[in-house]
Amino acid sequence: MSVDVHNHVMPTEALDLLRAEPAYGVTIDDSGTWSGAHHAPFPVVASFYDPAAKLAYMDERNVGAAVTSPPPTLFFYEVDRSAGERLCQASNEGMARFCRHDPERLHWLANLPMQDPDAAAASYRAAAADGALGAAIGTSIAGRRLDMPEFEPFWATADELGLPVLVHPGWNEPHAALNDYYLQNAIGNPLETTVMVERLICAGVLARHRNVRLVLLHGGGYVPYQAGRLAHACTVRPEISISADDVWDAFGQLYFDTITHDTAALRYLVERVGAGRVVLGTDMPFDMALDRPMEALAAALDADTARAVAATNPSTLFGLGGDAAPAAG
């Protein structure tokens, strides 16, 4: 069965909380349009919160199962610990309920109050005990970077649990040139992923926590194409204390989703990082989603590689077991 590892849910428990509490600054009008922080206005379509609608949406696109995650619009790392914990609790309880609708096809990743790393660690343990297959966090915690020492309690817990951590671009750094043309998404999101993972490598976070496995979105940003530049910098710049080998060693802890929106780029991604490191991702149901994911795989890869990317790799990564052939594109 094909497994989509980048598929978003906003459960009704979280949406109700956001509607009820002005502290989050979110408005969802009568037409279902979201307005608020962290994203341009977008429609809150039924497949965000209705599991039957989610499955129908997946069926239309020949996707067998999904490891669902909260989108960055549910992170709210800028609010205080209490508000953050309430939202994460509502998100996690709602996602667990959502996935009980069809536990063979729907699975979930935890939302964590990363503004308080100790609370995030405790929340991660609780969510894992409740059935979460991992966690979904932002590339930046309201401007604080994940390689900072204050996040060590979270990384230690992620290492202990050994579950995958999906890292979604969030809280992108301001850049005047990206303000127009939706470039903060089209360029800024891949850039945020690149900055996040290369900082983790340079700070030695991944080397200290060998059981941590990161799922990088949007094809891994610019990492597959530009990691060689970082490796070279390691050999010539005193600002970097790691070696070039450390850069390449870190790839053993990284997984890359398939959202490149380009056949040649997807083919290169698989060639560069290895077929075993690429997993099916769609970004459903946002408008930037890969709308025909199985067709994209079939266009870029041979049948055996497409099967590995769509079914074997995500099933193995998230401990789902089984390896039925992916649905035909």
Of 242, 297, 241, nearest to 270 by C-alpha is 297
And the tokens for 123?
């929340």
Radius of gyration of the chain (CA): 19
State the pTM of this model. 0.95
Domains in the chain (CATH in brackets) are 3-8+48-317 (3.20.20.140)
Residue 160 parent element (H or E): helix 152-161
pLDDT given at position 26: 92
Is residue 326 pLDDT above 70, yes or no?
no
pLDDT given at position 329: 29
Q: How far apart are CA 139 and CA 72, in angstroms?
A: 10
pLDDT given at position 322: 56
Residue 5 parent element (H or E): strand 3-8
pLDDT given at position 38: 72
Burial annotation 24-45 (CB, 10 A radius, 16+ → b, else e):
bebebeeeeebeeebeeebebb
Q: How far apart are CA 310 and CA 291, in angstroms?
A: 15
DSSP state of 150: G
Tell me if 326 sits within 8 A of 64, measured CB to CB. yes
pLDDT given at position 324: 38
And the tokens for 158?
């992620």
pLDDT band at 2 (very low <50, low <70, confident <90, very high): very high
pLDDT in tens, 274-324: 999 999 999 999 999 999 999 999 999 999 999 999 999 999 999 998 543
DSSP letters for 168-194: E--SPPP-GGGSSTTHHHHTHHHHHHH
- Nearby residues of 148 by Cβ (< 8 Å), 6 or more positions away: none
Written in H, E and C, the secondary structure of 44-56 is CCHHHCCHHHHHH
Is residue 3 pLDDT above 70, yes or no?
yes
Is residue 39 pLDDT above 90, yes or no?
no
pLDDT band at 29 (very low <50, low <70, confident <90, very high): confident
Q: Could you tell me the sign of the dihedral formed by the alpha carbons of 191, 193, 197, 200, in that order?
A: positive
Tell me if 283 sits within 8 A of 232, measured CB to CB. no
pLDDT in tens, 145-164: 999 999 999 999 999 999 99
Tell me if 5 sits within 8 A of 256, measured CB to CB. no
pLDDT given at position 325: 36
pLDDT in tens, 85-129: 999 999 999 999 999 999 999 999 999 999 999 999 999 999 999
pLDDT in tens, 184-220: 999 999 999 999 999 999 999 999 999 999 999 999 9
Is residue 132 pLDDT above 50, yes or no?
yes
pLDDT given at position 197: 98
pLDDT in tens, 40-97: 889 999 999 999 999 999 999 999 999 999 999 999 999 999 999 999 999 999 999 9
State the Cα angle at 178 between 176 and 183, rounded to 5°.
170
DSSP letters for 218-281: GGGTTHHHHHHHHHHHHHH-TT--S-HHHHHHHGGGEEEES--S-HHHHHHHHHHH-GGGEE--
Among 11-15, 33-37, 268-272, whose mean pLDDT is lowest? 33-37
Q: How far apart are CA 216 and CA 137, in angstroms?
A: 11
pLDDT band at 327 (very low <50, low <70, confident <90, very high): very low
- Nearby residues of 321 by Cβ (< 8 Å), 6 or more positions away: 315
Is residue 328 pLDDT above 70, yes or no?
no
Is residue 35 pLDDT above 50, yes or no?
yes
Of 324, 266, 250, nearest to 298 by C-alpha is 266
